[in-house]
Amino acid sequence: MAQHGYKQFCPLSMAAEVLCTRWTMVLMRELVAGSTRFNDLRRGVPKMSPTLLSQRLKELELAGVVERKEVQGEKGIFDYRLTEAGRDLRPVVEAMGFWGQKWVESRLSLKNLDPSLLMWDMRRNLNPSPLPEGRTVIQFLYQDLPASKRSWWLIVEKHGEVDLCWYDPGFDVDLYVSTDLHTMTAIWMGLLTVEKAGAKVSLTGDQAIGRKMQTWLGLSPFAVEPKRAA
């Protein structure tokens, strides 16, 4: 990285040499959010090639931002965890996200729709506390997408894991959420609420779960930052 850098002694330029290569800050978002396995990181950056992901992880490791450790009892499987220097970047990542939420035009953000990234983020941020005890299965149907990308299932254990499936897991569905990808992304980004979406979101099944959707739904961590006035 250094040989293509800014060749300045300024700490900002030195930090930029580490962090401002393509995809690096997006990868940092995933690491800050808690992803540690290669495949989980890939799901958070689905349009980043595995080769480039490996390269960026190696660069961050060399820079002292990430440390790679083999998982005990799982030969050839590694965890990628933030070092103290990496953890110090959390407020930097958050500040960039809040800036983007506030100042980048919504219509530009909503051009970059990606159902796999949306559902992965929803899974990660979902709040299970308003849901019933035991297992809750929620199927999302994006009617504007081709059949191969239309259906997604969130499987929520009240006191356990939240799993995401892109194939039918075989469980009874408690709530069907039928909408379009643009509307669901806008809700996740905090630009719209389930209530204000109105007829664009159809809820079928357990209405008690449906009424609490805005509460349990995993919104973007940057959704709390209001957009600037036009």
Tens digits of per-residue pLDDT, 132-179?
999 999 999 999 999 999 999 999 999 989 999 999 999 999 999 999
Helix (H, G, I), strand (E, B) or coil at 149: helix
The architecture of the domain spanning 9-102 is Orthogonal Bundle (1.10)
Q: What is the pLDDT along the chain (230 residues), one digit of tens a residue?
A: 445 678 888 999 999 999 999 999 999 999 999 999 999 999 999 999 999 999 999 999 999 999 999 998 888 899 999 999 999 999 999 999 999 988 987 777 778 899 999 999 999 999 999 999 999 999 999 999 999 999 999 999 999 899 999 999 999 999 999 999 999 999 999 999 999 999 999 999 999 999 999 999 988 988 876 666 55
pTM of the predicted model as reported, rounded to 2 decimal places = 0.82
Buried b (16+ CB within 10 A) or exposed e, 108-130: eeeeebebebbbbbbbbbbebeb
List, by residue range, all CATH 3.30.1050.10 domains of the chain: 108-215
For residues 58 and 209, give the distance between their C-alpha atoms in angstroms, rounded to a whole number. Answer: 43
Q: Tell me what the pLDDT averaged over the chain comes to.
A: 92
Sign of the torsion angle spanned by Cα atoms 28, 153, 188, 114: positive
List, by residue range, all CATH 1.10.10.10 domains of the chain: 9-102
For residues 89 and 25, give the distance between their C-alpha atoms in angstroms, rounded to a whole number. Answer: 10
* Residue 64 tokens, joined: 């002292």
Q: Annotate 74-142 with DSSP letters as a single string.
A: STT-EEEEE-HHHHTTHHHHHHHHHHHHHHS-HHHHTTS--HHHHHHHHHHH---TTSPSSEEEEEEEE
pLDDT at position 7 is 82
| Total residues found in the chain within this entry | 230
Phi, psi of 164 (to 5 degrees): -115, 130
For residue 12, what are the CA distances in angstroms to 7, 85, 98? Answer: 11, 15, 20
Domain 108-215's class? alpha beta
For residue 111, what are the CA distances in angstroms to 108, 114, 156, 181, 186? Answer: 5, 9, 30, 11, 11
Residue pair 173/137 in contact by the 8 Å Cβ criterion? yes
